[in-house]
Amino acid sequence: MSRIALVTGRTRGIGAAISLALKNAGYNVAANYATRHDAAQAFTKEHGIPAFSWDIADFEACWNGVKKVQEALGGPVEILVNNAGITKDGAMHKMNVANWQAVIETNLNSCFYMSRAVIESMREKKFGRIVNISSVNGQPGQFGQTNYSAAKAGIYGLT
């Protein structure tokens, strides 16, 4: 039986590429997404990688989502790729609290939420891999991306 991998961050772009690379390497892969159900269904149909929708910015939803993946794929998640991220750009003096919180929750807190949902089974099996995807903008920062850069810098610290 192949190892089970879970990739957050849609079924497009970087998340799709990571999911496909893991599948091609022999892993049993599931993908998480939040919106664009049509794109997720098309991805599943084309590549045979099941896609599960839940809000990774919600701690309980992450636990429930991981449980659904494990039930569907028949075992614990052994490889987690925290890839999901959003942008809500704006200069700090124009940024509202909702945009700050949305980016921090989705880009940074989700890495903790998802990791927390899989880490105990990894510890029990004495095997597991958690890969956190950040950004170069997490190091020097980027004008107009105060929230994004802060979240991505936080991922470096979390990792």
Which residue has 């075992």 as its token pair? 75
DSSP element (H, E) containing 41: helix 37-47
Pairwise CA distance, residues 132 & 156, whole Å: 8
Give backbone dihedrals phi and psi of 70, rounded to 5 degrees, phi first: -65, -40
Catalytic residue among 27, 33, 113, 148: 148
CB 108 within 8 A of CB 155: yes
Asked about 27 being catalytic, the answer comes back as: no
Give backbone dihedrals phi and psi of 116, rounded to 5 degrees, phi first: -65, -35
Instruction: Report the catalytic residues.
Output: 148
